Amino acid sequence: MTRFSSRREVLRSSAQLLPGAALAALGCRSTESAAPAAVVSKRVRDVRAVSFVLDATPTLEGAGVSLRRSLGTRALSALDPFLLLDEIHSDRVEDYVKGFPTHPHRGFETVTYMISGYMEHRDSLGQGGQLLAGSAQWMTAGRGIVHSEMPNPDGNVFWGLQLWVNLPAAQKLSKPRYQNVAPDRIPELSVQGAPVRLVAGTLGGERGPVDGISVEPTLLDLRLPAGATFEHELPQEHTSFAYLLEGHAELGEARTAARAGQIAVFGPGQVLTLRSAGAAARVLLVAGRKLGERVARRGPFVMNTQAELEQAYEDFRNGVLVSG
């Protein structure tokens, strides 16, 4: 009996003994003559890379409140549609008690998120009350509002954040409105073992209580246990950033490091990925649709042109900012 030293020799011998059709029927093909195998398409993960990481800047604001500003600085003036992000976090009453006495706004939205302590709020529309720990307020200033925000020294750590969000030109003179969200209205979910408070946007089939906002925002308060990973899909073109509240985290596939008091700005993509670095971490995740419009900004007013800014100041001086 003839012995063959390789499968290739077996196939070559079979080809001499059998017609091509019969050989094909037997399913005997050499690797050289086989038709290319169907390529199985694999979805490419469009993970957002971190563009840069910046330290928040210590700043005095209001009547003398010590805070950290990560967005709205010389280093990072804006991230369309976001204009400012401030964090107050202190157990020293003198750092925050002077608060933010009566002041105006026009042309954008302020978002206040309280973690600890509470804030007394009063305004020109007759709205008032307390923003308690765990609550959120999304205020659309629109054509104009005059209000005050006064931290209450209750003996606990005061910890809160405020985000400014631009309004599109068509809504800058809209009627002011509030979305006051009590703590028990904010869904608290567990995603891959990470507790998440969903203030705005969608996550795991749930929708946050803040709605009707032009920039389609996402606002998540994420706690990452030690060694945990979190992923979240967003519209590819939305601006997104993470602000580290506690601990250390690694962001994106490159595992860019960020620590408490730093803002990490993501580039374009669809998937956000975060990992806690060693110990647990807490992260504020923010995203929203870009407006792509001109911005004219000064003090408490954000408009599209310098002429509109001048009009806002004139309306305020003449006492018609709210009714104009």
Say if 177 falls within a structural domain. Answer: yes
- pLDDT tens-digit map of 199-215: 999 999 999 999 999 99
- pLDDT tens-digit map of 166-179: 999 999 999 999 99
Work out the mean pLDDT of the chain and round it to a whole number: 88
- pLDDT tens-digit map of 74-126: 999 999 999 999 999 999 999 999 999 999 999 999 999 999 999 999 988 88
According to the model, what pLDDT value does residue 40 have? 43
8 Å CB contact between 297 and 313: no
Say if 279 falls within a structural domain. Answer: yes
Say if 136 falls within a structural domain. Answer: yes
CA distance 81 to 93: 33
Say if 148 falls within a structural domain. Answer: yes
According to the model, what pLDDT value does residue 45 have? 78
Say if 5 falls within a structural domain. Answer: no
CA distance 264 to 16: 67
Say if 200 falls within a structural domain. Answer: yes
Rounded average pLDDT over 9-23: 38
Structure tokens at 70: 């990560």
CATH number at residue 198: 2.60.120.10
According to the model, what pLDDT value does residue 246 have? 98
Say if 290 falls within a structural domain. Answer: yes
Domain residue limits at 77: 50-306
Domain count, the chain: 1
pLDDT level of residue 66 (50, 70, 90 thresholds): very high
- pLDDT tens-digit map of 122-172: 988 887 789 999 999 999 999 999 999 999 888 789 999 999 999 999 999
CA distance 203 to 218: 9
8 Å CB contact between 96 and 108: no
Q: H-type helices in the chain, by residue range?
A: 7-17, 20-25, 306-317
- pLDDT tens-digit map of 236-292: 999 999 999 999 999 999 999 999 999 999 999 999 999 998 899 999 999 999 999
CA 227 vs CA 146, 221, 246: distances in Å: 45, 18, 15
Say if 229 falls within a structural domain. Answer: yes
Rounded average pLDDT over 24-53: 58
